[in-house]
Amino acid sequence: MPWNVKWLSSYSGHNSQSQKQCKKSSFAFYQAVRDQLPSWLLEDIRLMEAFHWQEGGKVSIYSPSEALLYALVHNHRPYAHYLLSKFPKSALAVPSLHFSCCHSSAPHLAMAVRYNRIHILLEILKAIRDFPASERVLYLDRRGCSRVEGGKTALHVACELARPECLLLLLGHRASPCLSDCTGNTPLDLLLQQIWESPAASLRAKLLLLDSLLLFLPPGFHFAMKQQLLDDQQQWQHLLGKHRFQWLVGLAPSSLFVRSMQVLIGTISPDQFPEALDSLPLPHFLKPLDLKLKN
């Protein structure tokens, strides 16, 4: 057998063995996070024992970013806190393509919303407070992969999945409600679609979500479903109530209550959110975080 054939055969066998070993150690790390092992032990495993296989035959240890994704999936709050406090930049960096569909998204933010990990989401938002202002804005408003995630921001996901606590946390930290996804829908459009399709039993919860979102929208805000609201005014007034409907389509200004709430909320800086909500005379629907964050 020629030497090069022997070498390729040997390399292929070694390659296959390495891949199997990586799968084994990779699953062991995944299982350790799932079993809520202590953070110090998880770090020992991550740095010394756990490897995963990447495209092109590259073997790599788990980065803090990839470890944080596992912590999010399994709601390992102490480990997420450790990673974000110890490695704030690298923990929120885009993971390898083995873990993320592209390098244009902010997967940790969107995953925290998708899995409704309120505590870890707040940890992420606290971590980016120390980022330069431009970086912080880019991170909060980064759109997901156009092919897999439809170019949605984390705020889109919060509205699509009706996550009131996640919605308030993102808005309070200045995530923009004005961005469109790949289909031209703003977060408001997705929430209106949810309201249109909601059974009567869940309508109230969606309207409270809408009330929170409306407090952060600028006057004259453009959204894709506006014409649909105008084309079917009677049904939408029934669903939304007269005042919400008229404000959305531009037939009336926002109420004095809404304007006063906007002024109050505007006094809270992202660094004080959501703690400062407790000291303001706000309605209960703006304080859904209290019990959630205490548990």
Backbone angles phi, psi at 233, to 5 degrees: -60, -40
Which structural domains are found in the chain, ordered by start? 63-294 (1.25.40.20)
The two tokens of residue 182 are 């790949």
DSSP state of 217: P
Model pLDDT, residue 258: 85
19-23, 29-33, 140-144 — which is least confidently predicted?
19-23
Euclidean distance between CA atoms 13 and 1, whole angstroms: 16
Assess contact for 154 and 140: CB atoms under 8 A.
Answer: yes
25 pLDDT more than 60: yes
Assess contact for 167 and 159: CB atoms under 8 A.
Answer: yes
Euclidean distance between CA atoms 90 and 49, whole angstroms: 20
Please give the average per-residue pLDDT across 200-227, as a whole number: 90
Please give the average per-residue pLDDT across 88-108, as a whole number: 77
DSSP H helices, the chain, are: 3-34, 39-48, 64-73, 77-86, 88-91, 107-114, 118-127, 133-140, 154-160, 164-172, 187-197, 200-214, 226-231, 233-240, 242-249, 256-266, 289-294
Q: How confident is the model at residue 120 (pLDDT cuts 50, 70, 90)?
A: very high
Which range, 43-57, 131-145, 180-194, has the best average confidence (pLDDT)?
180-194
Euclidean distance between CA atoms 109 and 105, whole angstroms: 9
Higher pLDDT, 5 or 30: 30
Please give the average per-residue pLDDT across 105-131, as a whole number: 92
Model pLDDT, residue 15: 57
The amino acid occupying position 255 is S
Q: How confident is the model at residue 80 (pLDDT cuts 50, 70, 90)?
A: very high
Backbone angles phi, psi at 292, to 5 degrees: -60, -45
Q: How confident is the model at residue 138 (pLDDT cuts 50, 70, 90)?
A: very high
Assess contact for 261 and 87: CB atoms under 8 A.
Answer: no
14 pLDDT more than 70: no
Q: Provide the whole-model pTM.
A: 0.86
Please give the average per-residue pLDDT across 111-127, as a whole number: 95
Using alpha carbons only, what angle is made at residue 269 by residues 268 and 274, rounded to the nearest 5 degrees? 65
